[in-house]
Amino acid sequence: MESKILELAIKVVDDKRADNIVALNMKGISLIADYFVICSGNSEKQVQAIAYELKKVVQEEGLDIKRLEGYDQARWVLVDLGDVVVHVFHKDERLYYNLEKLWGDAKTVEIEGVLG
């Protein structure tokens, strides 16, 4: 995997049982980040648990969180890790915003090796 932060983010959200984890390579497509990780939880509590765990583990690794938005509402939490932006959606919001379609030009990153 190209990015240690990307790999860490994927492992953390998977450990918290996030659904439908997708990683998109945003290089050359977006100036915001090199990678987007998109996942969802089945309830507000699970969305918050995923975002909280990600924040905790990233900080334990000595990395900075640039921004964390939407945590209180827990419908769409954005965790900005610099080169990687993690979008943790409530399952209903994920269908509505459909970021995978919005950023359809981005290539999907193979993540099975990370989750193996």
Domain that holds residue 58: 4-94
- pLDDT, tens digit, for every residue of 92-106? 999 999 988 888 889
**What does the alpha-carbon distance between residue 76 and residue 36 come to, in Å, rounded to a whole number?**
14
The answer to whether residue 109 is domain-embedded is: no
Can you give the CATH number for the domain in which 68 is found?
3.30.460.10
Q: Is residue 67 part of a domain?
A: yes
Residue type, 100: E
Q: Is the overall model pTM greater than 0.75, yes or no?
A: yes
pLDDT digits 0-9 by tens, 5-48:
999 999 999 999 999 999 999 999 988 899 999 999 999 999 99
Inside any domain, residue 17: yes
How many structural domains is the chain composed of?
1
Structure tokens at 107: 């290539």
**∠93-64-14 over CA atoms, to 5°?**
45
Is residue 108 domain-resident? no
